[in-house]
């Protein structure tokens, strides 16, 4: 598993945990950063992902709600919601990650961490965002 893949998985874990425990994800990730050289320490890319999702969460959730046919964001499985938020942030706000990589990574993690239907759901929704991305960036 590559370094960025591990960082994405840690970001999913932190976003999921923060939501389940009713904590601020940025506080949770900051707590993990101050434990360097331990298993709990997080890579910088995890911090970037969590902070990016938190900063742009309103817009990300608006897009997910708009383009997820028949699903509200609150009704999505919590792991899928975290994966979709990370994938959407990478698609729209991180030019260092090619769109195909952002989608593939989210789909792969959905297959590992969520339901049997999650990979196709994540792929379909992020694929739709890739298709309309030029209109979103205007």
* pLDDT for the residue 33: 79
Asked whether the beta carbons of 88 and 64 are under 8 A apart, the reply is yes
Q: Does residue 4 have a pLDDT over 60?
A: yes
* pLDDT for the residue 79: 97
If we measure between CA atoms, which residue out of 39, 52, 38 comes closest to residue 8?
A: 52
- Count of helices and strands (H, E) across the chain: 6, 0
How is residue 86 written in tokens?
């990370």
**Rounded to the nearest 5 degrees, what angle is found at the Cα of 50, between the Cα atoms of 46 and 51?**
115
The whole-angstrom separation of Cα 99 and Cα 49 is 15
The whole-angstrom separation of Cα 100 and Cα 130 is 9
Q: Does residue 35 have a pLDDT over 80?
A: no
* pLDDT for the residue 39: 60
Which CATH code for domain 3-136? 1.10.940.10
Please state the domain extents for the chain: 3-136
The whole-angstrom separation of Cα 67 and Cα 46 is 26
pTM for the full model?
A: 0.93
84-105 pLDDT, tens digit per residue, is: 999 999 999 999 999 999 999 9
């Amino acid at each position: 598993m590559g370094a960025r893949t591990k960082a994405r998985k840690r970001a999913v874990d932190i976003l999921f945990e923060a939501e389940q425990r009713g904590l601020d994800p940025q506080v949770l990730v900051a707590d993990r950063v101050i434990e360097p050289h331990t298993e709990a320490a997080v890579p910088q890319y995890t911090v970037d992902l969590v902070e990016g999702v938190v900063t742009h969460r309103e817009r990300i959730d608006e897009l997910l709600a708009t383009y997820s046919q028949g699903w509200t964001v609150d009704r999505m499985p919590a792991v899928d919601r975290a994966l979709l938020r990370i994938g959407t942030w990478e698609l729209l706000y991180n030019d260092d990650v090619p769109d195909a990589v952002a989608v593939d990574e989210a789909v792969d993690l959905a297959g590992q961490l969520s339901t049997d239907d999650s990979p196709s759901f994540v792929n379909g929704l992020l694929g739709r965002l890739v298709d309309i991305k030029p209109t979103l960036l205007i």
